[in-house]
Structure 1
Amino acid sequence: MRARSWIPLVLLLLAWSYFARPVYDFAWVAAGRLRDMAGARIGSPTLRPSREAEVGRSLAQGEEIAGYLRGLRRAAPDALTVAGAPEAAREQLRRSLRYPPPGFDTPSTEAVVETLVGEDEFATYRELKVPVLPGVYATGMYLRPKTADPAQKLPLVISAHGRGGMPSETADGKLPGLRKSRRDLAWDALKHGYAVWLPVYVHYNQDGSDFRDRLTARAWQAGTSLPAIEIAKTVKVLDALLKRPDIDAGRVAMMGHSYGGFYTLYTTALDPRIRVAVVAAYFNDREAVLDGSEPTGFLDWRFPDSLTLWRDPSVAALVAPRPLLIEAGNQDQLFPIAGARKVAPEVERVYERLGVADRFEFREFVARHDFDGEAAMNFIDRHLKPSPRGARE
Structure 2
Amino acid sequence: MPTPPNPYEQAPQIIVREVGDRQRLLRHEAEDFLQSLIVDYEPRRAAHWDRDYSSEAAFTASVQGNRRRWAEAIGVFEGDGTELNPKLELWCDEDQFTAWWLTIDLLGGLRGRGILALPKGRRDPAPLVIAQHGIGSSPERVFGLDDPADIYKGYGRRLVEEGFAVVAPMNVSGSAPRARLERLCKLLGKTLWGIEVYRTQRLLDYLETREEIDVTRTAMYGISLGGAYTMFTTPLDERISVAIVCAWFNHRRHKMAIDDPRYTSFLSVDEEHIWIPGWLREFTDSDLASLICPRPLLVEQGKADGIAWWPLMLQEYEETREHYRKLGLEDRLEIDLHEGGHEIRLEKSLEFLKKWLQP
How far apart, CA to CA, are the structure 2 residues paired with 1:360 and 1:131?
36
- The number of aligned residues is 329
Residue correspondence of structure 1 range 52-91 to structure 2 within 5 A: 52-73=17-38, 74=40, 75-77=43-45, 81=49, 83-84=51-52, 85-91=62-68
Are 2:283 and 1:302 aligned?
A: no
Compared CA separation, residues 141 and 302, structure 1 to 2 (3 A): same
What amino acid is aligned across from residue 185 of structure 2 in structure 1? A
**What is the CA RMSD across the aligned residues, in angstroms?**
3.1
Change (3 A) 1:276 1:165: closer
Which residue of structure 1 aligns with residue 237 of structure 2?
271
User: Structure 2: which 5+ residue stretches go unaligned?
Assistant: 1-5, 53-61, 258-264
| Residue aligned with 1:275, SS | strand
**Which residues of 2 match residues 347-366 of structure 1 at below 5 A?**
347-366=320-339
What is the CA-CA distance between 1:344 and the residue it aligns to? Answer: 0.8
Q: Give the deviation of 1:295 after TM superposition.
A: 4.3
Deviations 1:260-291 (Å, cap 9, x if unpaired)? 10101111011111000000011012232233
User: Residues 69 and 349 of structure 1: is their aligned pair in 2 closer, same or farther, counting only changes over 3 Å?
Assistant: same
Corresponding residue for 1:192?
162
Question: 1:82 Cα deviation (Å)?
Answer: 6.4
Mapping of residues 134-149 of structure 1, within 5 Å: 134-149=108-123
Matches within 5 A, 1:370-385: 370-385=343-358
Secondary structure of 2:155's partner? coil
1: CA distance, partners of 2:193 / 2:7: 56
Partner SS, residue 320 of structure 1: coil
Match of 2:212 in 1: 246
3-state SS, counterpart of residue 342 of structure 2: coil
Q: Measure the CA separation in 1 of the matches of 2:184 and 2:96.
A: 41
**How far apart are the structure 2 equivalents of 1:265 and 1:190?**
23
1:269, 1:315 within 8 Å by CA — same for their partners in 2? yes
Q: Hey, what does 2:105 align to over in structure 1?
A: 131
Q: Which moved more, 1:69-78 or 1:228-237?
A: 69-78
SS of match in other structure, 1:308: helix
Match of 2:153 in 1: 183
Change (3 A) 1:50 1:241: same
Describe how 1:137-286 pairs up with structure 2 within 5 A: 137-149=111-123, 152-164=124-136, 175=145, 183-204=153-174, 210-286=176-252
Structure 1 residues 118 and 80: alpha-carbon distance in aligned structure 2, compared to 1, 3 A threshold: same
1:321 aligns with 2:294: yes
Change beyond 3 A, Cα 1:261–1:43: closer
Instruction: Give distance in 2, aligned partners of 1:44 and 1:225.
Output: 52
| Distance in 2, Cα, partners of 1:297 & 1:342 | 27
How far apart, CA to CA, are the structure 1 residues paired with 2:303 and 2:139? 24
Could you tell me how far 1:53 is from its partner in structure 2?
4.5
Report deviation, 1:368.
0.6
Moved more, 79-88 or 231-240: 79-88
Task: Find the aligned partners of 1:339 and 1:264 in 2 and give their Cα distance.
Answer: 21
Residues 272, 214 of structure 1: alpha-carbon distance in 2 compared, 3 angstrom cutoff:
same
For 1:354 and 1:163, how far apart are their aligned partners in 2?
35
Structure 1 residues 109 and 253, CA gap change in structure 2 (3 angstroms): closer
Q: Is residue 78 of structure 2 the alignment partner of residue 112 of structure 1?
A: no
Aligned match of 1:344 = 317
State the structure with more CA Rg. Answer: 1
Measured after TM superposition, the shift of residue 364 of structure 1 is 0.3
Partner Cα distance (1:372, 1:339) in 2: 21
Relative contact order higher in (CA < 8 Å, ≥ 6 apart): 1
Instruction: Letter of the 1:316 partner, please give it.
Output: A
Return closer, same or farther for 1:126/1:82 CA change in 2, 3 Å cut-off. Answer: farther
| Percent of aligned pairs with the same amino acid | 27
Name the CA distance, whole Å, in 2 between partners of 1:265 and 1:82.
Answer: 21
- Contact persistence 1:254–1:264 (CA under 8 A): yes
User: Would the aligned equivalents of 1:124 and 1:144 in 2 still touch at CA under 8 Å?
Assistant: yes
SS at match of 1:265: helix
**What amino acid sits opposite 1:136 in the alignment?**
L
| Residues 1:44 and 1:366: Cα distance change in structure 2 (over 3 Å) | closer
TM-score normalised per structure 1:
0.75
Cα distance in 1 for residues equivalent to 2:195 and 2:135: 17
